[in-house]
Amino acid sequence: MEYLDFVNLAFTPNDSDLICTFYVEPKGISLKEAAGGVAAESSIGTWTKLTTEQPYMKKLAATVFKIDQNLIQIAYPVELFEKGNMPNILSSVAGNVFGLKALENLRLVNISLPNVLLDSFKGPKYGIKGIRKLLRVQERPLVGTIIKPKLGLKTADHAKVAYESWLGGCDVVKDDENLSSQNFNPFEERIIKTLEVKDKAEEKTGERKVYMANITAETETMLKRAQFVQDQGGNYIMVDILTCGFSALQTLRDQNFNLIIHAHRAGHAAFTKKPKHGIAMQTIAKIARIIGVDQLHVGTVVGKMSETKDEVLNNIIALKQDIHTFRRVMPVASGGLHPGLIPSLMDTFGKDFIIQAGGGIHGHPNGTTAGAAAMRQAVDSTLKHISLTDYSESHAELKTAVDLWKI
């Protein structure tokens, strides 16, 4: 079979087919041939005729069934894939094809798995409903922070910042993506001390609080750390899903810990940032949901991250749309956020999301507790449809933030 043999614009996909949408820019060949090349190289074909082809293989060929300008859709027979094996699936549809010389650019825009494959993954254990049930917060966004500086604080100081954050009104405190078990802040010691002050903050405020401990490591170590968090009475863990890998994430989810999985997307922009090449974040979001994360960073629109509003909305859709029987996943907004951005943020996200602000809380001139209070006040102001400027007149912490960040 040659590349063009993998193109059939009259073909109708089966319900059992895996469907991928790609953006394709050819280099030195026609768009139709380039589309066929992607289908061939990601299924049973290659660049030349083979003497080893057998007639029974043709039913396993991927088929390009739609070409709309530079967007193509390919149907893959489900027999090409091993159930419950996300690395196998992605090695096929998002593997060597990105390196083809005949392609100037290739981007995996979207992916849709058939039920027979979806059945082989667990999906989220908790999702939005489970998270809200744990925190007993139903009608507003959850307010969270990341311990800053992200690296360097000793364990006692780390716990102090966490306590002050919860005291000021944060629901959530999490480690940053590169805090692991460095000598200045060992993992086990950090878990024990931070969970201790979490309990104190709950007693002081009368609110539920959660600590997202970063367990990212080699897979066996990661599982031991998850067990340690659970044994210490924690109810949340955080994983850098791309740097640890989807197979490690799946191994973690398959243990069925009684722990909510917070998914950090560290490294995603290496795949997602270029609009014409790589893998779209909505595809990564969908894959992470299928494997079983409960919440995931999706961008902000405002703040310091580069994604457009359309991209962020597509990421949110991937987490909340009906997929099989999987629970909806909580979107997380993080990156350069401060109280002045809350109205715009809630305009994009609505109420079902987590606000994760680092510098926008710990950079408050009056300290972390005041910074957390200002963030909660900004949320309350927006829910009440009162401008931040007006609301800040009777809320000192928000007033200081308004003045500092020139809202």
Tell me the residue type at 13.
P
Catalytic residues: 148, 264
CA torsion, ordered 172, 204, 226, 336, to nearest 10 deg: 20
Round to whole Å and give the CA distance between 375 and 384. Answer: 14
Annotate 172-230 with three-state secondary structure.
EEECCCCCCCCCCCCHHHHHHHHHHHHHHHHHHHCCCCEEEEECCCCHHHHHHHHHHHH
Of 343, 355, 336, 339, the residue nearest 400 (C-alpha): 339
Residues belonging to the chain: 407
Q: Which residue has the tokens 């059945």?
A: 119
* Chain CA centroid to CA 61, Å: 32
Element at 89 (helix H, strand E): helix 86-93
- Contact 333/375 with Cβ under 8 angstroms? no
DSSP-derived letter for residue 59 is G
- Contact 198/191 with Cβ under 8 angstroms? no
- For the chain, give percent helix, strand, coil, nearest 5: 45, 15, 40
